[in-house]
Structure 1
Amino acid sequence: MDVPATDALARALYPRQNRLMTKSPDILCIGSVLWDVIGRSASVMARGSDVPGRIIRLPGGVALNIAMTLVRFGLRPGLLSSVGRDAEGDELTKACAHLGLDTTYLYRSEDLPTDRYMAVEGANGLIAAIADAHSLEAAGAKILRPLIDGPLGSAAAPYPGPVALDGNLTESLLDDIARSPAFCAADLRIAPASPGKAERLLPFLRSGRGTLYVNLEEAGLLCQTRFDTAPEAAAALLARGAARALVTDGGEITCDGHRDGILSRRPPEVLVTRVTGAGDTFMAAHIAAELCGADRDTALSKALTAAAAYVSGDTPS
Structure 2
Amino acid sequence: MSRPDILCIGAVLWDIIGRSSSHMKLGADVPGRITRLPGGVAMNIAMTLAHFGLKPAVLTAIGQDPAGDELAERAEELGVSTAHAYRSADLPTDIYMACEGANGLIAAIADAHSLEAAGEKILAPLSDGRLATAERPWDGPVALDGNLTESLLSRIAASPLMAEADLRVAPASPGKAQRLMALVGHPSACLYVNLEEAGLLCQCDFASAAEAAEALRGIGVARALVTHGGSEAAEASPGGLTRLRPPEVLVTRVTGAGDTFMAAHIASERAGMAPEAAFARALRAAATYVSGENPH
TM-score range with shorter-chain normalisation?
over 0.9
AA matched with 1:238: R
The alignment status of 1:240 with 2:219, answered yes or no, reads yes
Taking the aligned partners of 2:207 and 2:134, their CA distance within structure 1 comes to 42
Please tell me the root mean square deviation across aligned C-alpha atoms, in Å: 1.2
1:262 aligns with 2:241: yes
Separation in 2, partners of 1:245, 1:206: 12
| Contact 2:67–2:93 (8 Å) recurs in 1 | yes
Q: Secondary structure at the match of 1:253?
A: strand
The equivalent of 2:230 in structure 1 is 251
Aligned partner of 2:134 in structure 1 is 155
Using the alignment, how far apart are the partners of 1:69 and 1:175 within structure 2?
27
Q: Give the CA deviation at 1:208.
A: 4.2
Secondary structure in structure 1 of the residue aligned to 2:134: coil
1:49 matches 2:24: no
Q: Which of 114-123 and 205-214 deviates more?
A: 205-214
Amino acid at match of 1:126: L
* TM-score (normalizing by structure 1): 0.92
Per the alignment, residue 173 of structure 2 pairs with: 194
Give the Cα–Cα distance (whole angstroms) in 2 for the partners of residues 308 and 198 of structure 1.
23
Indicate the residue corresponding to 1:133 in structure 2. 112
When residues 208 and 220 of structure 1 are mapped into structure 2, their CA distance, relative to the original with a 3 A threshold, is: farther
Who is 2:189 aligned against? 210
Pair 1:212–1:168, CA change in 2 (3 A) = same
Partner of 2:207: 228
Aligned to 1:59: 38
What SS does structure 1 have at the residue aligned with 2:184? Answer: helix
Counterpart contact for 1:216–1:249, Cα < 8 Å: yes
Amino acid at match of 1:174: L
Q: Across the two proteins, how many residue pairs are aligned to each other?
A: 296
Residue type of the alignment partner of 1:167: G
Match for residue 91 of structure 2? 112
AA aligned to 1:203 is A
* Deviation (angstroms), 1:98: 0.9
Q: In the alignment, is the contact (CA less than 8 A) between 1:155 and 1:180 conserved in 2?
A: no
Q: CA offsets, 1:89-131, max 9 Å, x none?
A: 0010000011111111000001000000000000000000000
Deviations 1:3-27 (A, max 9, x none): xxxxxxxxxxxxxxxxxxx711111
Q: Distance in 2 between matches of 1:244 and 1:223?
A: 14
1:174-193 mapped onto 2 (5 Å cutoff): 174-193=153-172
- For residue 3 of structure 2, what is the amino acid of its counterpart? S
2:82 to 103, 113, 129: 103
Amino acid across the alignment from 1:302: R
Q: How far apart are the structure 2 equivalents of 1:46 and 1:227?
A: 26
Q: Distance in 2 between matches of 1:263 and 1:63?
A: 26
Tell me, which stretches of 5 or more residues in structure 1 are unaligned?
A: 1-21
8 Å CA contact 2:185, 2:222 repeated in 1: no
Identity among equivalent positions (%) equals 64
1:172-220, Cα deviation, whole Å (9 max, x unpaired): 0000000100001001000010000001000111434410000000000
CA contact (8 A) 1:178 1:209 kept: no
Partner of 2:265: 286
Q: Could you tell me how far apart the structure 2 residues matched to 1:228 and 1:291 are? A: 32
Tell me, yes or no, if structure 1 residue 273 matches structure 2 residue 252. yes
CA distance in 2, matches of 1:45, 1:298: 37
**Aligned counterpart, 1:78:** 57
Runs of 4 or more consecutive aligned structure 1 residues displaced over 4 Å after TM superposition = none
SS at match of 1:207: coil
Aligned-partner SS, 2:210: helix
Q: Which runs of no fewer than 5 residues in structure 2 stay unpaired?
A: none
Secondary structure of the equivalent of 2:231?
Answer: coil
Given that residues 148 and 155 in structure 1 are in contact (C-alpha distance below 8 angstroms), is that contact kept between their aligned partners in structure 2?
A: yes
